[in-house]
Chains A and B, each alone.
Chain A
Amino acid sequence: MSDVPAPPRLQSPGQLAWERFIARGSSRFGMVVMGLIVSVGIYAPFLSNELALVWWDKNGLSFPAFADLFNRRSYQKPHDLFFNVTALLLPPLLIIQWLVRQHVRISRRILGMVGIVVAVGLLCWAPFIPGKNGWTAAWDHRPFVEQNIQTWRELPPDSRPLAVFAPVKHRFDATYPGAVLQSPGTHNPLTGGTYWLGTDAGGHDVLTHLFFGARISLTVGLVATGLAFFIGIIIGAVSGYFGGWIDILLQRMVEIMMCFPTFILILTVVAMLDRDIFIIMVVIGLTGWAGVARLVRGEFLSHSVRDYVVAAEALGLPKWRIMFRHIMPNAIAPLIISATFGIAGSVGAESGLAFVGLGDPTTPSWGVLMEQGRQNIRYPWLIYTPGLAIFIIVMTLNLLGNNLREAIDPKNHR
Chain B
Amino acid sequence: MNAAKWTLLIVTAALLIYMAVDRWRQPQQLQRVRQSVDRLELALQELSRTQRQLAEALAKQPAVIPQGNQPTTTTVHAPAFDPTVQDGNPKLGVNFLMPYDRSHYHPEWQGGTLKAFGSTPRGLNPLTDNSSTSNDVHARCNDSLCERPATHPEQWSANLAESVIISDDYQTYTFTLRKGVRWQRPTVASQAKYAWLAKDVPLTAADFKFTLDLILNPAVDCPALRNYYEDVEKVEAPDDHTLIVRWKRKVYTSLSFSMGLSPLPRHIYGHSADGTPIAPEQQGVAFNKHWFDEISGVVGVGAFIFEGYEPDKVMRFRRNPDYWGAPLHFDVIELNLEVKKDDAQLIAFKNGQVHTHGLTPLRYKAEILDHKEPRFAALDPNDPKAGRKGELAWTRFKALNFSYLGWNIRRPLFSDKRVRQAMSHAFPKERIINEVFFGLGQAILTDVHPDNQYANKAVKPYAFDLERAKVLLAEAGWSDSDGDGTLDKEVDGKRLPFRFIIKYYSDSPEWDNTLLIYKNELRRIGIDVEPKPFQWKELIRVYEDKDFDAVVGGWRMDWDIDYYQLWHSTQADVQGGSNHCGFKNARVDELADKLRATFETPERIAIAKEIQAIIHEEQPYTFFRSGEGIFVWQNHGKPATDLYLKGVTIGLDTLHPLVNRSAANWHFRE
Interface of A with B (CB < 8 Å)? 71, 73, 76, 132-133, 140-144, 173-175, 177-181, 201-203, 238, 242, 244-246, 249, 275, 319, 357, 361-362, 372, 374-379
- In whole angstroms, how far apart are the Cα atoms of A162 and B70 in the complex? 93
Q: Is the CB of A246 within 8 A of B484?
A: no
Chain A residues, CB < 8 A from B497: 141
Q: Is the CB of B486 within 8 A of A141?
A: yes
Chain B residues, CB < 8 A from A361: 506, 509, 512, 533
Chain A residues, CB < 8 A from B6: 238, 242, 246, 319
Which 5 residue pairs across A and B have the least CB separation, nearest first? A143-B485, A378-B372, A141-B484, A378-B366, A242-B3
Q: Is the CB of A144 within 8 A of B524?
A: yes
Q: Which of B189-197, B246-254, B513-521 contacts A (4 or more CB under 8 A)?
A: B513-521
Q: Is the CB of B509 within 8 A of A372?
A: yes
Q: If A175-B517, A180-B513, A244-B3 touch, does A143 touch B483 (CB 8 Å cutoff)?
A: yes
Residue of B nearest to A271 (CB): B535
- In whole angstroms, how far apart are the Cα atoms of A71 and B296 in the complex? 61
Q: Is the CB of B366 within 8 A of A142?
A: no
Most chain B beta-carbon contacts within 10 A, residue among A71, A179, A180: A180
Known: A143-B485, A144-B526, A361-B506. 15 other contacts (CB 8 A): A73-B523, A73-B528, A140-B484, A142-B485, A177-B435, A181-B366, A242-B2, A244-B3, A249-B7, A275-B506, A319-B2, A362-B532, A374-B343, A378-B370, A379-B366
Chain B residues, CB < 8 A from A244: 3
Please pick, from B370, B513, B526, B528, the residue contacting A202 in the complex, using a CB distance under 8 A.
Answer: B513
Is B22 close to A, CB under 8 A? Answer: no
Q: Is the CB of B483 within 8 A of A376?
A: no
Q: Is the CB of A181 within 8 A of B365?
A: yes
Chain A residues, CB < 8 A from B10: 238
- In whole angstroms, how far apart are the Cα atoms of A244 and B497 in the complex? 58
Chain A residues, CB < 8 A from B52: none
Is B480 close to A, CB under 8 A? Answer: yes
Q: Is the CB of B520 within 8 A of A175?
A: yes
Give the Cβ gap from B305 to chain A, nearest Cβ, in Å: 39
Q: What are 5 contact pairs spanning A and B, CB under 8 A?
A: A71-B485, A73-B528, A180-B365, A238-B10, A244-B3
Q: Is the CB of A362 within 8 A of B486?
A: no
- In whole angstroms, how far apart are the Cα atoms of A275 and B503 in the complex? 13
- In whole angstroms, how far apart are the Cα atoms of A23 and B526 in the complex? 55
Residue of B nearest to A76 (CB): B530
- In whole angstroms, how far apart are the Cα atoms of A68 and B435 in the complex? 28
Is B362 close to A, CB under 8 A? Answer: yes
- In whole angstroms, how far apart are the Cα atoms of A230 and B533 in the complex? 31
Q: Is the CB of B526 within 8 A of A203?
A: no
Give the Cβ gap from B636 to chain A, nearest Cβ, in Å: 23
- In whole angstroms, how far apart are the Cα atoms of A201 and B509 in the complex? 8
Q: Is the CB of A73 within 8 A of B485?
A: yes
Give the Cβ gap from A386 to chain B, nearest Cβ, in Å: 16
Residue of B nearest to A183 (CB): B370
Give the Cβ gap from A250 to chain B, nearest Cβ, in Å: 9
- In whole angstroms, how far apart are the Cα atoms of A51 and B246 in the complex? 71
Q: Is the CB of B506 within 8 A of A376?
A: no
Q: If A203-B435, A377-B343 touch, does A181 touch B523 (CB 8 Å cutoff)?
A: no
- In whole angstroms, how far apart are the Cα atoms of A11 and B497 in the complex? 60
- In whole angstroms, how far apart are the Cα atoms of A374 and B343 in the complex? 9
- The proximity string for B residues 411-448 relative to A, scoring 1 for CB distances below 8 Å and 0 otherwise, is 00000000000000000000100011010000000000
- In whole angstroms, how far apart are the Cα atoms of A201 and B366 in the complex? 10
Residue of A nearest to B2 (CB): A319
- The proximity string for B residues 483-512 relative to A, scoring 1 for CB distances below 8 Å and 0 otherwise, is 111100000000001010000001101001
Residue of A nearest to B428 (CB): A177
Q: Is the CB of A201 within 8 A of B524?
A: no
Give the Cβ gap from A315 to chain B, nearest Cβ, in Å: 16
Give the Cβ gap from A402 to chain B, nearest Cβ, in Å: 35
Interchain pairs with CB closer than 8 A, number? 95
Is B327 close to A, CB under 8 A? Answer: no
Chain B residues, CB < 8 A from A201: 362, 509, 513
Q: Is the CB of A362 within 8 A of B362?
A: no
- In whole angstroms, how far apart are the Cα atoms of A315 and B304 in the complex? 91
Chain B residues, CB < 8 A from A375: 343, 362, 509
Chain A residues, CB < 8 A from B438: 180
Q: Is the CB of A362 within 8 A of B370?
A: no
Give the Cβ gap from B233 to chain A, nearest Cβ, in Å: 49
- In whole angstroms, how far apart are the Cα atoms of A238 and B531 in the complex? 44
Q: Is the CB of A362 within 8 A of B523?
A: no
- In whole angstroms, how far apart are the Cα atoms of A71 and B6 in the complex? 46
- In whole angstroms, how far apart are the Cα atoms of A379 and B370 in the complex? 10
- In whole angstroms, how far apart are the Cα atoms of A177 and B432 in the complex? 9
Give the Cβ gap from A80 to chain B, nearest Cβ, in Å: 14
- In whole angstroms, how far apart are the Cα atoms of A166 and B185 in the complex? 75
Q: If A275-B533, A362-B531 touch, does A178 touch B485 (CB 8 Å cutoff)?
A: no
Q: If A175-B520, A202-B512, A378-B370 touch, does A141 touch B485 (CB 8 Å cutoff)?
A: yes
- In whole angstroms, how far apart are the Cα atoms of A71 and B94 in the complex? 71
Chain A residues, CB < 8 A from B435: 175, 177-180, 203
Q: Is the CB of A73 within 8 A of B486?
A: yes
Chain B residues, CB < 8 A from A133: 482
Chain B residues, CB < 8 A from A173: 516, 519-520
Residue of A nearest to B372 (CB): A378
Chain A residues, CB < 8 A from B365: 180-181
Chain B residues, CB < 8 A from A202: 509, 512-513, 516
Residue of B nearest to A372 (CB): B509
Chain A residues, CB < 8 A from B520: 173-175
Chain B residues, CB < 8 A from A178: 435
- In whole angstroms, how far apart are the Cα atoms of A181 and B513 in the complex? 12
Give the Cβ gap from A27 to chain B, nearest Cβ, in Å: 40
Residue of B nearest to A247 (CB): B3
Residue of A nearest to B431 (CB): A177
Chain B residues, CB < 8 A from A374: 343
- In whole angstroms, how far apart are the Cα atoms of A143 and B516 in the complex? 19
Q: If A180-B365, A181-B366, A377-B343 touch, does A175 touch B372 (CB 8 Å cutoff)?
A: no
Give the Cβ gap from B9 to chain A, nearest Cβ, in Å: 10
Chain B residues, CB < 8 A from A143: 480, 483-485, 526
Give the Cβ gap from B217 to chain A, nearest Cβ, in Å: 40
Residue of A nearest to B497 (CB): A141
- In whole angstroms, how far apart are the Cα atoms of A18 and B485 in the complex? 50
Chain B residues, CB < 8 A from A180: 365, 435-436, 438, 513
Chain A residues, CB < 8 A from B436: 180, 203
- In whole angstroms, how far apart are the Cα atoms of A357 and B341 in the complex? 13
Residue of A nearest to B531 (CB): A362
Q: If A376-B362, A378-B366, A378-B372 touch, does A144 touch B509 (CB 8 Å cutoff)?
A: no
- In whole angstroms, how far apart are the Cα atoms of A406 and B605 in the complex? 83
- In whole angstroms, how far apart are the Cα atoms of A132 and B484 in the complex? 11
- In whole angstroms, how far apart are the Cα atoms of A245 and B523 in the complex? 60
Residue of A nearest to B513 (CB): A202
- In whole angstroms, how far apart are the Cα atoms of A97 and B201 in the complex? 96
Chain B residues, CB < 8 A from A357: 507
Chain B residues, CB < 8 A from A141: 484-486, 497, 499, 528
Give the Cβ gap from B12 to chain A, nearest Cβ, in Å: 14
Residue of B nearest to A171 (CB): B520
- In whole angstroms, how far apart are the Cα atoms of A144 and B486 in the complex? 9
Chain A residues, CB < 8 A from B507: 357
Give the Cβ gap from A100 to chain B, nearest Cβ, in Å: 37
Chain A residues, CB < 8 A from B530: 76
- The proximity string for B residues 461-485 relative to A, scoring 1 for CB distances below 8 Å and 0 otherwise, is 0000000000000000000101111
Chain B residues, CB < 8 A from A73: 485-486, 523, 528
Residue of A nearest to B371 (CB): A378
Chain B residues, CB < 8 A from A249: 7
Residue of B nearest to A71 (CB): B485
- In whole angstroms, how far apart are the Cα atoms of A173 and B515 in the complex? 11
Q: Is the CB of B517 within 8 A of A246?
A: no
Give the Cβ gap from A297 to chain B, nearest Cβ, in Å: 15
Residue of B nearest to A319 (CB): B2
Chain B residues, CB < 8 A from A376: 362, 366
- In whole angstroms, how far apart are the Cα atoms of A244 and B3 in the complex? 9
